Structure 1
Amino acid sequence: MNKSAWLAALLWCETVAAQDDTAFKWVTKPGKGLQMAQIDSIYYDGYLTTTVTGTMFQEDTMLLLKDGTFYSGLQVSPADLNVAASRKNEPDEWGKWKRQGQKVLVQDPDTGKWDEISGFKVVPAAPNERIKITAQAASSVSFGGFGGFSSFNTLIFNKDGTFERSGMTVGGSGSAQATGGVSVASTKTSGKDGCSSATSVSSTAAAGGSSNSNSSCGKDNQGRYKLDGYTAEFRDASGKTQRLLFFFWEKDKKHLFIGDATFSAE
């Protein structure tokens, strides 16, 4: 494999690995953070934004507390948020808010000016709420001439409290590698039956690739769920538990925000 092929494959691998290396640090033990009685509401805003690599859909969350303070960029369930540690280590994310009629205003810390926030108030889950829905989320990242990847994830919630999830990530090299006679493609899939990955590399000199599968990881993609307020807890069949930020966009419950992305009903 020549240098261009190695660089393309390395870019792909490092990009996927980086997704799992950004865990939010300022958390408490499960459920030891903010309680629902301390929370006024959460506001959500989604919009298209332009980056150096193209257009992407940006999703923002803002937590409003009853003490008149707000926290922007909420990444975890409020029930697991370590407020003291967050205020100390990311003070720029905190500020003051107030209501003016039907409007919600936040204060600019530099100018003292009050501005209306964008977005809308979301709907928390009822305690131990059960739902029956199949929802999907999709995202993509482009690196211009160096390719990119797209991810597709599905979550199935059943009324008996069980869940299933599956996903697929597809990536490939771009025109920069193609100009050098190199093409790289990679696919990863996961679901209740297991996980698999495959990579292919071709160039003017040679072609090759690799693939592997792991049936045991299927246990990670099925189990039981619990919804409570702004928290979704997933306990998979292998015994691992994951707690994520959760809410419905609206009362019709067709759009669910889970973790860091919106899932929409099929």
Structure 2
Amino acid sequence: MTIATPPSPATLPLRSLLLAAAFGLADVALASGSAAATQSSPGGAATRFVRDPVRFEANQAKLVAATRSRSPAMADALDRSFRQDILGAVSAELRRVGLDTSDVADMTAAYWVMAWEAANGIIGETTDPALVDGARRQIAGKMAKSTAALRDAEKQDIADAMLLQALVIDARMKAVAGQGAAARRKMSDAIHAEAAQILRTDLRRTTLTPAGFAPASGSPPATQAPAAPPPVTPPGRAASHAGNWQRVEGVYFKSYTSFGVGGMMIQDFEPVVLFRDGSYYEVEGPALEDVDLAASRAANPRAWGTWRRQGATFLLTDDRGRTEDYRLQQGSFFKAYPAEAIGGKLARPYKRISGGGNSALGGTMAIAAQTNLAFSPDGSFSTDSSAGAVGANVAASSRRRGGVGRYRIERHTISFVDPRGATRREFFALGSEGATPRVDSDMIFIGDRVFVKDD
């Protein structure tokens, strides 16, 4: 689907969007392995709204302002594009494929279709309206319940964010259309990676049909299913793959970009195990001695790659052949420490915060969740979690206490024992700080998640 808008610089990134996940769209009929054929009718009044032209201009201005704090050049490019009548410029193409700018599901479908085409290297082709209609109906069926209670202004904020981000994708792909295959592939890869973070869907493993999105033939379900819980190991049972540690060269952690509260891009961290054979493994959750490495590589190749070292610089090449260089202890790649570095005991509370929403784009919805873990030197721990959502006319929160149990950390494994005696083992690591690495117990890794001290 091509839309006539002035191109922005090829480097303009998709910076602020978690709206699809915030409204439960990450599982748009893909987890089941089939398109949503039963969702044959659009969302109707639940997804439609009365558009306010002044609000659309305000949303454009908020996007420019949100971008300016990170990149003035990018903000200027957006500002120039927004000086024209955007809705007027795109209305003909949107009408051709059956999309209405006053329907939040339609504009969400525009983003999904645009991201899918870009991820699959499609530039400037005429999109079959039947395919867009399939995506529209599928998405409307998922959104109708969650948007029915929203005011028109809230629906418009979501629709505007989706439309504007779809236009940014279109502009980025047009900017590289005449720059050769390598440039087009690089941009396609970037948009594909961004969409995978936002939608939790591999758009290169999906197909777009008249019934909506579905896994491509021969591909596993494209939506990431909720992570399976770590293996439950009764006390005394030996680890099934203890020999894995004999293959390890070192344990580190590296930074990556994720989407946080309000849709803002934030820096997160994940533990990485480097093996002596030159391969690396991004920890998925379970303790390393409980992981069948060959099965992991086959099931989740994205967690694997190769590495080599040049002095203090580590070169990591992912499963798609893309290489990034990380200088040790210089902001993106750090040494991780085992439990013995602090005597095998934890003695403080930790927290992890995550969330989403559209407030980064000037919208009204913010969603946040927090997980708290408190450890005592006597080997006990307690846990609780809370979540909340705040909008222009809605506020909700919940809190759940997880109870008290026992824990044990040894090397890079933490074991949690619940009151019934069942044991859950996960990967564990301590952070580091300083140009010359030294242990930093203010940051710990449990499974593939980072927790920081809770003051």
Identify whether the pair has TM-score above 0.5, normalized to the shorter chain.
Answer: yes
The corresponding residue for 1:164 is 382
1:81-92 to 2 correspondences below 5 Å:
81-92=291-302
How far did residue 119 of structure 1 move?
1.1
Q: CA deviation at 1:248?
A: 0.7
Match of 1:212 in 2: none
1:141 — aligned with what? Answer: 356
Shift of 1:86: 1.4
Structure with higher helix content? 2
Distance 1:242 1:25 in 2: 9
1:58 and 2:268 matched: yes
State the secondary structure of the residue aligned to 2:226: coil
Q: Which residue of 1 aligns with 2:252?
A: 43
**Unaligned stretches of 5+ residues in structure 2:** 1-44, 48-143, 151-223, 433-438
- CA distance 1:241–1:149, shift in 2 (3 Å): farther
Q: Which amino acid aligns with 2:275?
A: L
- Does the 8 A contact of 2:283 with 2:427 survive in 1? no
Amino acid at match of 2:406: R
Inter-partner Cα distance in structure 1 for 2:368 and 2:319:
38
What is the CA distance between 1:112 and its match in structure 2?
A: 8.7
Q: CA deviation at 1:238?
A: 4.0
Match of 2:442 in 1: 254
Q: Which residue of 1 aligns with 2:146?
A: 7
Counterpart CA distance in 1 for 2:323 and 2:408 is 41
Aligned position for 1:217: none
2:339 to 118, 125, 130: 125
| Contact kept? 2:405, 2:419, Cα under 8 Å | yes
Whole-Å separation in 2 of the counterparts to 1:9 and 1:125: 50
For normalisation by structure 2, the TM-score amounts to 0.42
Give unmatched runs, 5+ long, in structure 1. 12-19, 192-219
Q: Give the aligned length.
A: 221
Alignment partners' CA distance in 2, 1:112 and 1:139: 28
Q: 1:25 to 1:158 in 2, by over 3 A?
A: closer
Q: Distance in 2 between matches of 1:84 and 1:49?
A: 27
Structure label with greater radius of gyration:
2
Cα distance in 2 between the residues matched to 1:190 and 1:39: 38
Matched-pair identity in %:
25
Partners of 1:45 and 1:98 in 2: how far apart? Answer: 15
Q: CA deviation at 1:156?
A: 1.4
TM (norm. structure 1) is 0.67
What amino acid does structure 2 have at the position aligned with 1:135?
A: Y
Query: How many angstroms does 1:42 deviate by?
Result: 2.2
**Inter-partner Cα distance in structure 1 for 2:422 and 2:364:** 36
Is 125-134 or 227-236 further displaced after alignment? 125-134
2:252·2:336 contact (CA, 8 Å) conserved in 1? yes
Larger proportion of strand: 1
Match for residue 241 of structure 1 among 414, 417, 423: 423
What amino acid maps onto 1:233 in structure 2?
S
